[in-house]
Amino acid sequence: MNVRPNGPFTAPRGRSWRRGPGSRVAWSYEREVSVTVTADPVTDIMEDAPDPIDQLSALEEAYGEPVRAQYVERGAFLPPQPDDQHMDAAAEFYFQLRTAGFPLAGMGIGLRCGVKYERTQALLIPDFYVKHRRPTDLDEAYRRTHKGWYSIDLLALVGEVTSTNHETDTGPKYRTYAAAGVPVYVLLHRQEGKAYAYSDPVSAPERGDPHYATKTEVEIGRPLPLPEPYPALETEFLLER
């Protein structure tokens, strides 16, 4: 399991680091479960490797508390603790979508990418989203089967607000959302002072890496137009923070 920490990554309290074979480092704890860190995520993924859902469960068990870890492009990562502006922006966009007549806008659920594959491809917790529909009994059965993760196929729009690990939002998450066919990806890039709306996902291998064919870009402070039927998202409130 390739764990990509955002900043110094320390063993949980009461655990200890140990050097494993080659370049691997792992922490061990009472139940002899280990989470491995390696610089080579490709060669370390084997056909009989544990499902990433189980790997993230082991990570939380090692810490003894929920850590909201995510998994993308063959690597797990622990997002940095969001600051006030991050949470305020995500909540504001969620509120704007709700008040514009999109009651299926939400925040906080975990989503699995990999419905069409045997292995889990990604496990993500977006900052905000709009669902195509309310989860059905089949969706809830899927969630139970996958230990709390819904299918990413539920999403019509997904949104992220960057933190210090903004490269994850502009790289692996961007490609993963496009590959999964999420119709619209909204990105508030605080480091650049810009907001983006990506649409028309392309995931055909012959057309390069998964990407969005259409991009709309504005400076923070200006309304961000979204594809129909969504409203433009106001970003002026961020200038007041």
Residue 160's domain is classified under what CATH number? 3.90.1570.10
Are residues 67 and 89 located together in one domain of the fold?
no
Rg (CA), the chain: 19
Domain final position from 26, 50, 77: 77
Residues 155 and 71 in one domain: no
Q: What is the pLDDT of residue 169?
A: 92
Contact predicate 197/170, CB 8 Å = no
Question: Domain range for residue 173?
Answer: 84-240
How many domains is the chain built from?
2
Closest CA to 49 of 102, 100, 98, 2: 2
Measured CA to CA, the distance from residue 198 to residue 142 in angstroms comes to 28
Q: What is the pLDDT of residues 30-39, one digit of tens each?
A: 232 334 433 3
Q: What percent of the chain has pLDDT over 70?
A: 77
3-class SS at 208?
A: coil
Could you say which of 44, 77, 110 is where a domain stops?
77
Per-residue pLDDT at 13 exceeds 50: no
Neighbour tally for 1: CB within 10 Å? 23
> Which residue, of 54, 77, 100, is where some domain finishes?
77
* DSSP calls for 69-102: -EEETTEEE-PPPP-HHHHHHHHHHHHHHHHTT-
pLDDT averaged over every residue in the chain: 80
pLDDT band at 115; cut points 50, 70, 90: low
